[in-house]
Structure 1
């Protein structure tokens, strides 16, 4: 019996084998442009070098971003030197303070240390992080240098990044999250990765993203290697 790629992917995800390799995809058909991923209308600049840039657009209040976070973090760690992984918190009315919190932590190099704790503050401890007072209540639970944090939180750099957010989101064509950009030009997401799989759980949908990312990283590596030196 011939099994379609999407049906085969669903079967493997259901058995806990969501991280399909490119060789597996080769046997059942690779992710398709316009289905599991798409090209941005205008490619965005990326740093020169051999690493492939991965950007995750997310929001701390977003339950889907919270569900994806441990899976995405683990995948990124396994890539080693192949990728440069960064996150960008989206701007949405009412959650400006959450974005400022992220930018301040990023400026201090504290995102990796506190990223999960911020998610837990919102989704488990019910601190909505929507006012400066709620941000202060969260920061008081951490060991971060308070003075350094508030200097960053109120800094021109953070204010400027926040002001640029609408343009950044427009450039990367971000209208939902979580969304992942590979090499400044290839866009995918859990919902895109799971297209054609039928009714799936959010965990299965998130795991379906991993083989698509593997494929796109490999694709970007090959295309970068083929460029004139």
Structure 2
């Protein structure tokens, strides 16, 4: 019996080693020379640099939502809209409003669809507010209130600063644990998200964290912090 337990433990160890051997530096991830400070140091942050203008981000979003809803409670998403030009701050304000209202899982896909399918210019405040007021799949009034809140523009400017500080030159860009930039290859987003999850496991093991059970109701922890900061 003891021999069986020893063999089982060895097999499990080899299995874990093989799983992490599949992700390689330079192929699947790059180690950042300048780490991204996490919003919650005791958890694993997945910083998502994206753009509502980015068609890849549009196609990734439903896959990201499907995967992230199953993540353990020690892992959270931090959505950051890239700002490469001043004109992009209008979109960043929408992203900040989605974050601070805690509605990534309700409002993000409708925003993408409004831009790509309805061809609406949501970076225009009047157009955005008119569109938000007409929504029935989520609380548009709540999103507009977050958009008009005192801290909204400051949050958008912080996104612009992070875009520059982290040298983000393409979307989507994911940074896991403030340390690893994920290298995406191809547009099979299920494969890409599995790679993100392998890197999450890598960070968890490096920190000596025990994986908790998957959370029952997924929420954007970055959004919760942003909302608290506005109170």
Q: TM-score range by the shorter chain?
A: 0.7 to 0.9
Query: SS of the residue aligned with 1:95?
Result: helix
Larger mean Cα displacement after TM superposition, 175-184 or 160-169: 160-169
Q: SS of the residue aligned with 1:156?
A: coil
State TM-score, norm by structure 2. Answer: 0.73
**Partner of 1:169 in structure 2?**
163
Question: For residues 6-33 of structure 1, what are the alpha-carbon distances to aligned partners after superposition, in whole Å with 9 as ceiling and x for unaligned?
Answer: xxxxxxxxxxxxxxxx949827942211
Q: Which residue of 1 aligns with 2:184?
A: 193
CA RMSD of aligned residues (A): 2.5
Distance 1:28 1:103 in 2: 34
Q: 1:117 to 1:28 in 2, by over 3 A?
A: closer
* Corresponding residue number in structure 2 for 1:52: 44
- Please list the CA deviations of residues 42-88 of structure 1 after superposition, one character each: whole Å capped at 9, or x if unmatched: 11222232x31111111112101001111111111121324112211
Query: Cα–Cα, structure 1 residues 145 and 217, in superposed 2: closer, same or farther, change >3 Å?
Result: closer
Query: Using the alignment, how far apart are the partners of 1:187 and 1:84 within structure 2?
Result: 16
Query: 2:119 maps to which residue?
Result: 126
Q: How many residues align?
A: 192
Name the structure 2 match of 1:222: 205
Note the C-alpha offset of 1:183: 0.3
Shift of 1:95: 3.0
In the alignment, structure 2 segments of 5+ residues that lack a partner are 1-13, 210-231
Shifted more, 39-48 versus 117-126: the winner is: 39-48
Q: How does 1:126-165 map to 2 (within 5 A)?
A: 126-143=119-136, 144=139, 146=141, 148-165=142-159
Change in CA separation of 1:210 and 1:109 when aligned onto 2, cut-off 3 Å: closer
Aligned partner of 1:86 in structure 2 is 78
CA contact (8 A) 2:89 2:157 kept: no
Deviations 1:72-116 (A, max 9, x none): 111111213241122111114333222111212222222321111
**Which residue does the alignment assign to 2:3?**
none
Query: Which residue is equivalent to 1:110?
Result: 103
Q: Which residue of 2 aligns with 1:61?
A: 53
Contact 1:45/1:184, CA 8 A, preserved across alignment:
yes
**Aligned: 1:74 with 2:57:** no
Distance of aligned partners of 1:58 and 1:27 in 2 relative to their CA distance in 1, 3 Å threshold: closer
